Amino acid sequence: MVKESILLIGTADPAPWHPLSGVEGEFRSLLTDLGTLEVTTDAQRLVSLEKEETGLLVCYADTWDDSLNDEQTAGLVRFAAGGGNLLVIHNGISYQKRPEFQALVGAKFMGHPDMTLLPFRSVAPGHPVCQGLAAEWDLKEEPYRFQTHTAVEAEILYEYQHEGAWHPAAWTTHFGLGTVVYLMPGHTAASFQHPAYRELIRSSVRWLLNKIKPLSPTGS
């Protein structure tokens, strides 16, 4: 059986906060058995993305001060709109200097308080990504805050609690024919080593690669 191709894109040293080198080993341990993994730090790779060749794009870019150029943005948008699947993790939302990317991922990062231990809970236990996963868990993370894109309809999968309020921590949305999942945790390698979060990442990847099918109304 031919494995799906997974492209992981991140930022090389010196990245502002999250160099790919710090977590690449964790990504390899999470993804290698789910598909044929290609790793790159070259944003030009986005220009030639084709859904027939790349089953999933995983974005861990750390480019808060830089922006994708027009050609790179067009390639990414064409990939997603044409049916490509995208998993954006933590700082991968940093491509947001392009408004097209904000529409693609469904939100804009607005900042975060200090890193702390956060409770997480599932709010969509019936969604294929969440089925069979831990309903609640704790993880030390940066409590990212977001502004939801008004034109995008997102389904929240997990929330985290901070200072008495619950905030979105994981969601899925659609862009054209493509499907996008965003997962908030991922500041350090320790996040990727947390058993519950590892299973959430792997379940998201399997669903995006169509390896998890929705249950029928009868549960059969």
Question: Digits of tens for pLDDT over the chain (220 positions)?
Answer: 457 999 999 999 999 999 999 999 999 999 999 999 999 999 999 999 999 999 999 999 999 999 999 999 999 999 999 999 999 999 999 999 999 999 999 999 999 999 999 999 999 999 999 999 999 999 999 999 999 998 889 999 999 999 999 999 999 999 999 999 999 999 999 999 999 999 999 999 999 999 765 544 434 3
Domains of the chain in start order, with CATH, are 5-208 (3.40.50.880)
The pTM of this model reads 0.95
Residue 122, both tokens: 């599932």
What is the reported pLDDT for 150? Answer: 83
Half-sphere exposure of 80 (CA within 13 A, CB side): 26
The pLDDT score that the predictor gives to residue 151 is: 83
- What is the DSSP secondary structure assignment for residue 213, as one 8-state letter? P
